Structure 1
């Protein structure tokens, strides 16, 4: 049922008619709706009525202009006939078509965003794919860092005196010399002067100490 609101009748009839797209629910931000204001002219229906679009809901920036152009084009195609009903029906069909386009665009946007999120999650779990170029870049960087560290350790090692253990590990000939020493049974020269005071020791005291240890 079309609800027509008469605005005035002089000098010519002026009235408003609400229209909306199919399944329009303004409260849920679903669908397009507006009111069309028509005003007859002195030469109507041999010229189009004046048309205005107001109380727009969910219209995008250029929708008002596009709808007015559509209505005027339809009016020029129906000159000479009583055309308001035809214009209202055509305008309502335009809203439904426009809303279908908006819904399709929203669905495509939502699908694209979902794919982008899915792709981002997949890349996060997969990590960076290794190519020949990326591997060679990594190896070059690794070798440079390894050589730098190795040189630093060498410089630090050369800058201080080696311990006996380090000398032993570094010079394998020390091991061989010990083995040759044991095999050849070389005699050990002892400095007898180190023991010259043994004669002055009280042997009785030494024996007493040994008895205490045995007990």
Structure 2
């Protein structure tokens, strides 16, 4: 309005259009600036959230023991569910530890086997023709050429 009053009686179209363009450019610049500010603010907030996620909870003995108790309870629940499912399926498969805990005969079974004299017979004739096997001494990590061979 100010421009209109200043230019009364003159050719004003160019002057008015130029004034409107300048005002629109200012408005557009303000909108862009606000959007940039909002974008920077959102990025900063997202960065703060990201930092908070990576920061986590400080470790202390109390925190660890609390977590450990929850973890052990969850693990025991999972094991109970799995065992219950296996029992329902009819195929209970015990671990080695569970076998030894339930059947105490397993503790002494190896000793009884040895005491009974069930010795394994070895056919030594199978080892007579070792020269025909073409074994390279270089492939044997225990081979020491300074000691010589056992055949000497």
> TM-score scaled to structure 1, two decimals?
0.28
Name the structure where strand makes up a greater proportion of residues.
1
Please tell me whether Structure 1 or Structure 2 has the larger radius of gyration of its CA atoms.
1
Higher RCO (CA 8 Å, separation ≥ 6 residues): 1
> TM-score scaled to structure 2, two decimals?
0.35
